[in-house]
Amino acid sequence: MISLDIQGFQELQDELMKELSALKSDKIVTIGIHEEAGNVESGDMTMAGLGATHEFGANIKHPGGTSYGYASKAAAGRNEVRFLKKGAGHMELGVTQPHDINIPARPWLEPGVESATPEVLATIEDGMEEGKSMDQILEAVGVVAVGSVKAYMTELKTPPNAASTVHKKGSSNPLIDSGAMRQSVTHQVSSEKVTEGLE
């Protein structure tokens, strides 16, 4: 099972280490889609796996066998062909052959966290000045970074979806359909070693 977390990036880590060294703690904050997010609505992959697919891109070898044709008489009149659910639609024209589906990389996690760097550093500095504990500071950092990632996801426009995908979901944002993936982005403060994810 894929779990997509983030410990930080080199630029961010270098700056943070200077600030955090005085606090002497073995805890970390991870940002991303954690294992607890579960599966996507269709149940055929984890939400973290979906996030990783968008972050890095993927090449899927589809076995074929998907029905296509006219969903209704009106669609037939317009010669509007679409994929059909089994047993549904007005007229099946055929089924797809085995083929590759190439999903381009649309990085959202790394650049989203990176865009939070100035606010994260300010949050750490403010927390130290206010005498907050390490746990409190890391919680605050997590909230800031998650907000930044979600804002980045909302604004992402490239690479664009195919025109047919935009028409189907009614949005030009390539990362957002129902909003479930964006909603799944969270933070966790833990002393456990992270074994999967971006570093």
Quick: pLDDT tens for 136-176. Answer: 999 999 999 999 999 999 888 776 666 666 566 556 665 66
Query: What pLDDT shows up at residue 130?
Result: 93
Whether the pLDDT of residue 3 is over 50: the answer is no
| Residue 159 preceded by cis peptide, ω within 30 | yes
Q: Do residues 137 and 52 share a domain?
A: yes
| 131 touches 159 (CB < 8 A) | no
Q: Answer yes or no: is 197 within a domain.
A: no
pTM to 2 decimals?
A: 0.68
Q: Which of 80, 97, 114 is the last residue of a domain?
A: 97
Question: 102 - beta bridge partners?
Answer: 59
Please indicate, yes or no, if residue 198 is contained in any of the structural domains: no
Are 53 and 70 in a shared domain? no
- Let me know the angle formed at the C-alpha of 116 by 105 and 142, rounded to the nearest 5 degrees: 100
Residues spanned by the domain of 74: 64-97
DSSP string, 113-137: HHTTHHHHHHHHHHHHHTT--HHHH
**E strand or H helix at 51:** helix 47-56
Residue 5 has pLDDT above 70, yes or no: no
Over residues 106-144, the pLDDT tens digits come to: 899 999 999 999 999 999 999 989 989 889 999 999 999
> Residue range 7-35: average pLDDT?
72
186 beta partners: 32
Q: What is the pLDDT of residue 158?
A: 74
Residue 183 lies in a domain: yes
| 183 and 149 belong to one structural domain | yes
Work out how many domains the chain is built from and give that number: 2
For the cut 60, the answer to whether the pLDDT of residue 86 exceeds it is yes
Q: Judge whether 4 lies within some domain.
A: no
Tokens of 199: 């570093």
Q: How confident is the model at residue 8 (pLDDT cuts 50, 70, 90)?
A: low
Residue in 107, 116, 95 with CA at minimum distance from that of residue 12: 116
- Same domain for 107 and 178, yes or no, is yes
